[in-house]
Chains A and B, each alone.
Chain A
Amino acid sequence: MYMVEVQNVSKSYGQVLAVDNVTLEVKTGELLGLLGPSGCGKTTLLRILAGFLTPDKGVVLMDGKDVTYLPPEKRPTSLVFQNYALFPHLSVFDNIAFGLKIKKLPMKEIRKEVHDILEIVGLLGTENRSIRQLSGGQQQRIALARALVMKPSVLLLDEPLCNLDAKLRVETRLHIQKIQKAVGITSIFVTHDQEEALSISDRIAIMNKGNLVQVGTPEEVYSKPNSKFAADFIGKSNILSGSVEPDGKSGGIFKLASGKVIKVASDITAGGSSSLVVRPEHITIHEEAPEETGQNVMPCWIEHITYLGEVTYYRIVLESKEVLLVSEYGTTASKRLIGDKVYISWPPTAGLVIMDN
C-alpha cells in the first residue's frame, strides 16, 4: 500500500526544468530519503508534495486521493522547514498548539497533545520558553513536534539537520529515526548528505538534474548503483571507462581506454562503451606480489596518503597511468610512504559494470 504516489510530475521555472517527469511511490510507514546535490529538484518536489507549488504536469496522490491542486492547509502533510520556521513571537507551547487551535480542538485536548508530543521529543518543561531561548538542536525538535502533533499522514522534512553542527547532526538524526519508527509515520526526508540518507532511510531516492536516478534500499543503491552518477554520488568510487569484451571461460573481461585488461564477473556480457566501478574498500594493498588466484593483481605506486584515524586513503597510480583510490581500515599506523612501489588486488566480482548511455 502506497501512502504517497507521484505520477509523471514535472515542474519548470521559466526555461529551467526543476522536476522532470518524476514517478515515485512511498510506502505507508516508510522513511524515504530524497537525496541529491543542490539544485537537483528535490526541494521543488518536496514543495509540490507540501502544496506550496503546483506541478505543471502530473498527479500527486496521498492515501489514494488526488491532492495535486489542494492548498497546503488542506493537505494531510506537515513540513519541517530547513530553518525550522518557528514563530518567534510565540512560546514553545503556542508554536506547537498553533495548528491544533486552527483545528479548533478544546483546550484540554490541546494541552494533552502538546504534553505528549513534548514528551516524545524529550523537551517537557520548555512550554513557556520563547523560541529564542532554545538551542539549535532544541529548536529542531520543537519544529518536529509542531509537525508531528498535527498527526499528518505524511511528514516532510526539508534538510532538517543542515543547520546543526556535525556532532549534533548525528545525534538528532538517530532521534528523528527513532521517533519516526515509534510513531510509524510515512516520512520523506530531503538531504544532500549521502551519509545522512544512508543511515536514516528505509529507501533512498536519488535525484539529479530534475530526474529520479535510482530508488532502492541503502544497501541496494550503494552496492548496485545503476548509473555513473549514483556510483559517484553515494560513497567513494573508482570509476574507470572502457568496454566489456567476451572471454570464454574465466569470466568477463573489461578493457580500459589505455588498453589494460581487467577481469570482471563472468555473467557480464559484451557491450559498448561502459564504466567499471570498484569501491575503494574492495581493493587490497600488498607489499609483495600476491599469488594469482583469479584476482585482478597489478603493480603500482603510492601517490598520496590521507590518514583519517580509523581509515587511511591511498591514491595509487597504475603503470598504465590510471589513478585509483584504496581505503584500508584499522588502527595500526601505516608504514607505507609516498612513492612506495606496491601491488593491489581485487576480486572480479567486486567490479560493477555500468553501461554508458
Chain B
Amino acid sequence: MPINLSKGSYKKKYIPAALLSPGLIIITVGFFIPVIMLFIISFYQGVPGSGLIVEEFTTANYARFVDAYYMEVLFRTFKIAVYTTILSLLLGYPVAMVLAKSTGRVKSILLAIVLTPLLTNVVARTLGLMIVLGRHGPINQMLDAIGLPRVNFIPGELGIVIGLTQVFMPYMILSISSVLANIDFSLEEAARDLGSSKLGAFWKVIFPLSMPGIVAGSLFVFLLSFSSYVTPRLLGGGKVMVMTMLIYQQAMQLLNWPFAAAVAVILLIVSIGLVTVYTKATASSKLGDNAVFGGFQKAGLWQEISRKFADWRYDAMNAVSRAADVISEKVPLVVLLKYPFIFGGKFLIRTWQLIIIIFIIVPLPLVILSSFNATSMITFPPTGFSFKWYTGIFERMEYVRSFMLSLRLALLCVVISVTTGTLAALALARYNFWGREIVRSLFLSPLMLPAVIVGIALLRFLVIFGWVATFQGILLAHLVLTTAYVVRTVSSSLVGFDSSLEEAARDLGASAFYTFRKVTLPLIKPGIIVAAIFAFIVSFDETTVSIFITGGRTITLPVRIFSQLEYGLDPTVTAISSLLILMAAIALLVIAKVFGLEKFSIR
C-alpha cells in the first residue's frame, strides 16, 4: 500500500483544530472577548448612575483610584489576604504533616475532611462560619464557659480572616502535603544519623525541602482570599469594604462600569505583581543559600566576602549556643523548664493537629445541626428537633424555581462541557501543533482569573445581547468554568496514559477510531467521570460570577441563598445549605470510588 504523506499531514493539521474548536468557541466568546472588552472599557469614561459609557480614551478611572479611600480599600484587602495566608500556613502545616505521613484508613478520612469543604458551596460554608463565629455561636459559648468576655468576630475583619482561612486552608494543606509526601524519608534518617535531634532534622532538612509546597500553597491562598467576594461580603456584614465589594458596588449599585472595570484591572495587576515579587523573592533566597558558600557564578571578591560573613555568622551563633549549653548544664532550672516540652511535645502537637482538623470540618455539621432546629432563631446548641425548615422549602416557590434552574444549568453543563472539554484535552495531549501551550493556558485561564473579574466582564458583554439574567447568558458563563475544569481533569488523566497501548492496538489492525473507542476511552473513563462530577458541582455551586449576571426571575440557587444571607440568617437557608453539603459529600464518595482520593489533585 502506498503511503500518502500529503494526506497524513493534512489530517494532522485538521484533526486538532476540529477537536479544539467547540471548546475554543465557548472560551473565546464567554471569556476571552469579555475580558478584553473589560480592559478596553476601563479606559472609557462612565456616567455614574446611568450605566452609560462615553467611548473616549481616558486614564481618569485609574487616576481616580489613587485616592486615600480607595488606597485604603486596596491596603485592607491586601492585609486580610496576607493574614489569611500566614494563618493558613501556621495552622495548615501540622495538618499537612499528618496527611503526608498517614496511610490507609486514617489517610482516607483525613483527605475526606480536607476535601469535603472544597467541594461544598461557598455560601453554605460561609453560613457555617456565621454560626461558628456568631455572637451566640459555639466559640463565644466556650469563652463564656471559661469566664472570658465574648468576642465580636462578625461582622468584622477578624471574622473575615478566620473565615477565609477556614475556606482556603485546604489548598495550603494539599500543596504542602503533596510535597512532604514526596520527600525521601531516608533524608530525615540521614540527618539523625549525623547527630540531629528529631526537631533538628525537621528544621534543617524537612522544612527547607517543603518550601515549594509552602510557596505554591501561599500563592493559592493569597490569590483566592485577595479576590474572594462571598465570604468577606457575608462575614463583613457589608461593612468591611474590600476590592471585590468595591467592584460590585461600582458596577451594580452605582452603575459606573468603566470605573468598576478599572478597579478589576487594578485587582488583577496587583495580584499578578505580588505573585511575581513573591516568587522571585523566594527563588532568590534559595540562591542566597548557595551564595553563603561561594555560590557558583558570583564574582570572586563578593564570593570571598559572603563566605567570610557566613563563616563569621556561623561561629557567632555557635558561641551563643555553646554558652547556652554550658548554662543549661550548670543551672538545672533551665533543664527543668525544657523537660515538660520534651515529654509533652508529642501530645501537644497531636492535640493542636486535632483542633485544626475539627476547625476545618466543623462549620458543615453545624449547618446541618442548625437545620433541624425547632426555633427560627439560629441557636447553639439547638433547642428542639424539627423537619419544618425542609418542608418549608417547598412552600417558598422562589427557592423551588431557583433549584430547578440550577439543576437544568448543571445538567446541560455536564453534557456540553464534558464533550467539548474531553475533545480539547485529547487534542492538547495527543497532537503537537503550533501554539499548543497558548491554547492550553487559554482553556485554563478562567480558573486563574478571579471570579469577580469574570463576572463583571461577562455582565458588560451580555448586556450587548440583552442576555443578562437569561438562561443562555448564565449557561455561557457556567460553561466557561466547567469546560476549564473538564480540560484540566481529563488532561491530568491523559498525562499518565501509556501511548504505546494505542500503538499496540493500531499494530494489531485497529483503526484510529476503533482504538479510541476500545482502548483510549475506557482507560480515561475514570477521569471523564470525575470531570463530569466536577462540572456538575462547579455549575450547581457557582456563586460569584452568577451574582453579576442573574436577576429577576432567573436566579440560581446559590445566589438566592446568598442574597437571603445578605439580610441575615434564615433557617430555610440552613436547610438548603445542608442539602448542598450532602451533595458535596456524595460527590466526594463517588470520586473516591472511581478515582481514589489520593489521586485527586487540586491543580
Among B190, B191, B286, B322, the one with the most A-chain Cβ atoms within 10 Å of its Cβ is B190
Residues of B within 8 A of A136 (CB): none
Cβ B195 vs Cβ A99 within 8 A: yes
B372 to chain A, nearest CB (A): 45
Check B194–A104 contact: CB distance below 8 A.
no
B321 & A81 in contact (Cβ 8 Å cutoff): no
Taking a contact as CB atoms under 8 Å apart, the answer to whether A81 and B190 are in contact is: yes
Contacts of B187 in A (CB 8 A): 85, 87-88
For residue A289, CB closer than 8 A to chain B, the reply is no
List residues 180-205 of chain B with CB under 8 A from any CB of chain A: 184, 186-187, 189-197, 200, 204-205
Given contacts A89-B208, A130-B290, whether A79 and B314 have CB atoms under 8 Å apart is no
Within 8 Å CB of A111, what residues of B? Answer: 311
Looking at B76-84, B158-166, B291-299, B385-393, the stretch in contact with chain A turns out to be: B291-299
Binds B, one of A31-39, A90-98, A164-172: A90-98
Is the CB–CB distance between B200 and A91 below 8 Å? no
Find the B residue at minimum CB distance from A98. B194
Q: Is B276 an interface residue (CB 8 A)?
A: no
Consensus secondary structure, chain B interface: helix
Partner-binding segment picked from A7-15, A70-78, A191-199, A341-349: A70-78
Q: Are A128 and B293 in contact (CB under 8 A)?
A: yes
Q: How far is the CA of A102 from the CA of B209 in the complex (A)?
A: 19
Q: Is the CB of A73 within 8 A of B315?
A: no
Interface residues of A in 55-93 (CB under 8 A from B): 71-73, 77-79, 81-83, 85-89, 91, 93
Interface check A127, CB cutoff 8 A:
yes
On whether the beta carbons of A102 and B322 are closer than 8 Å, the reply is: no
User: How far does the Cβ of A152 sit from chain B's closest Cβ, in whole Å?
Assistant: 9
| B318 touches A (CB below 8 Å) | yes
Main SS class of interface, A: mixed
Interface status of A52 (Cβ within 8 A of chain B): yes
A127 near B194 (CB under 8 angstroms)?
no
* Interface size bracket, B side: 20 to 34
Q: Interface size bucket, A side?
A: 35 or more
Q: In the assembled complex, which residues on chain B have CB atoms less than 8 Å from the CB atom of A88?
A: 187, 209
A124 at the interface (CB under 8 A from B): no
In the assembled complex, the Cα of A51 lies from the Cα of B290 at a distance in Å of 32
Pairwise interchain contact A89-B194, C-beta atoms closer than 8 A: no
Interface string of A161-197 (1 = CB under 8 A from B): 0000000000000000000000000000000000000
Q: Which of A72, A86, A107, A129 contacts B192 (CB 8 A)?
A: A72
Residues of B within 8 A of A321 (CB): none
Q: How far is the CB of B367 from chain A (nearest CB, A)?
A: 43
A73 in contact with B186 given A98-B204, A104-B322, A128-B293 (CB within 8 Å): no
A104 vs B196: C-alpha distance when bound (angstroms): 12
Contact assessment for A146 and B194 in the assembled complex, using a CB-CB cutoff below 8 Å = yes
Query: In chain B, what residue has the closest Cβ to A91?
Result: B293
What residues of chain B lie closer than 8 Å to A130, measured between beta carbons? 290
> What separation, in Å, do the CA atoms of A146 and B321 have in the docked complex?
23
A87 in contact with B193 (CB, 8 Å) = no
Known interface pairs A73-B196, A107-B315. Does A81 touch B189 (Cβ–Cβ under 8 Å)?
A: yes
Given A72-B189, A87-B209, A94-B293; 14 other pairs, CB 8 A cutoff = A51-B192, A73-B196, A77-B193, A79-B189, A81-B190, A83-B184, A85-B184, A87-B205, A98-B194, A104-B318, A127-B293, A128-B295, A146-B190, A150-B195
Q: 10 A–B contact pairs at CB < 8 A?
A: A73-B196, A83-B186, A85-B189, A87-B205, A98-B191, A102-B195, A103-B195, A127-B294, A146-B194, A147-B193
What residues make up the interface of A, taking CB atoms closer than 8 Å to B? 50-52, 71-73, 77-79, 81-83, 85-89, 91, 93-94, 98-99, 101-104, 106-108, 111, 127-130, 146-147, 150
